[in-house]
Homo-oligomer: A and B are copies of this chain.
């Protein structure tokens, strides 16, 4: 049995880890921390977990976590970088769902995240936890930087095009729509149902923190310089991300076959039949990315539709997928759930 700890168990990615791990046959959650709710039973805050989680929240202290085999950070940015080194030193593997170790260029990270990095020496070691790109490195890692939700949907959609040099990399457009759970479980007026419900808007058009992360991931897939416009939007639903990706083709190719081939061995990436549209409801609650490939009117613009559940493949499910790889378990273990439709 793997003993898992969760730091930051009261946010949406934290409770989603609890939901997934509750049924994982090889994992026991031995510590769930929350500074604000320490001492309270987890299932009092989350009655959906009654009978499935016997724990109480504890303080996020190293001693409460050092007995774990692996610790997940489901915390705001800036926490994992404070605690990771100590945990690694005690032999605990670390899977960080926050952004602390995602960007290799420290200066770039500090610019976008507005703070000084506390553990720059760990950034190089950290493995970017996108299994469809880094599977072998993940298996050997001590420290995993789980991708952001937007970056997961966008990279999985663009990668086959860039890896094969099929598009003009200078003019990529990612128009991406997210459900409101992406904003987290924070008391903010903009996330109220009266504000976010029955309305649609773009935000952070001038620049969103996931832009450098996506750019870094795409850049690794091509030797050419990447120019990317990324516009995130808020859509009135709870879960789901839909990325609509645009690129200009350089020449002809059987794009459908290319995508199917690229992901044929991936359990969690499903290329839909030609002519399909991807619908976020079909991955709700599951760890799957579904992708549809289009070339409207046979023109030179390719349109990729890529959908995930932001809390699963975009966060906690992908974190468990990484954990499975880290510990030599079957990659799908504990993740075989079916999307909740309708």
Q: Which residues of A contact B (CB under 8 A)?
A: 12, 15, 19, 22-23, 44, 46-52, 171, 173, 175, 177, 179-181, 183, 185-189, 191-203, 205-207, 227, 229-231, 233, 235-240, 242, 244, 246, 248, 270, 272-273, 275-286, 290, 292, 294, 296-297, 299, 301, 303, 305, 307, 311, 336-342
Q: How far is the CA of A287 from the CA of B2 in the complex (A)?
A: 28
A342 touches B202 (CB 8 A): no
Nearest-CB residue, chain B, relative to A195? B342
B303 touches A338 (CB 8 A): no
| Given A48-B281, A305-B205, residue A192 in contact with residue B187 (CB < 8 A) | yes
| Given A201-B277, A270-B51, residue A19 in contact with residue B244 (CB < 8 A) | no
| Given A194-B12, A233-B177, residue A202 in contact with residue B338 (CB < 8 A) | no
25 A-B pairs, CB-CB below 8 angstroms? A23-B337, A23-B338, A48-B282, A48-B284, A173-B246, A175-B175, A193-B193, A194-B342, A195-B281, A198-B198, A198-B238, A199-B279, A200-B242, A200-B280, A201-B277, A202-B244, A202-B278, A205-B292, A205-B294, A227-B299, A229-B296, A238-B342, A246-B246, A285-B285, A311-B342
A192 touches B193 (CB 8 A): yes
Chain B proximity of A241: nearest CB distance (Å): 8
Q: How far is the CA of A294 from the CA of B232 in the complex (A)?
A: 13
Q: How far is the CA of A235 from the CA of B342 in the complex (A)?
A: 15
**CB-contact partner of A22 in B200, B278, B338, B340, under 8 A:** B338
Which chain B residues lie closer than 8 Å to A194 at the CB level? 12, 180-181, 183, 185, 191, 238, 342
Which chain B residues lie closer than 8 Å to A46 at the CB level? 282, 341
Which chain B residues lie closer than 8 Å to A342 at the CB level? 12, 15, 181, 185, 194-195, 238-239, 311
A171 touches B301 (CB 8 A): yes
Nearest-CB residue, chain B, relative to A205? B294
A207 touches B297 (CB 8 A): yes
Q: How far is the CA of A292 from the CA of B240 in the complex (A)?
A: 26
Q: How far is the CA of A229 from the CA of B283 in the complex (A)?
A: 27
- The residue among A50, A196, A199, A248 with the most chain B CB atoms within 10 A of its own CB is A199
| Given A50-B270, A200-B240, residue A340 in contact with residue B338 (CB < 8 A) | no
**CB-contact partner of A238 in B44, B197, B286, under 8 A:** B197
A48 touches B286 (CB 8 A): yes
Chain B proximity of A21: nearest CB distance (Å): 10
Which chain B residues lie closer than 8 Å to A242 at the CB level? 200-202, 233
A177 touches B340 (CB 8 A): no
Which chain B residues lie closer than 8 Å to A181 at the CB level? 194, 342
Chain B proximity of A42: nearest CB distance (Å): 12
Chain B proximity of A67: nearest CB distance (Å): 25
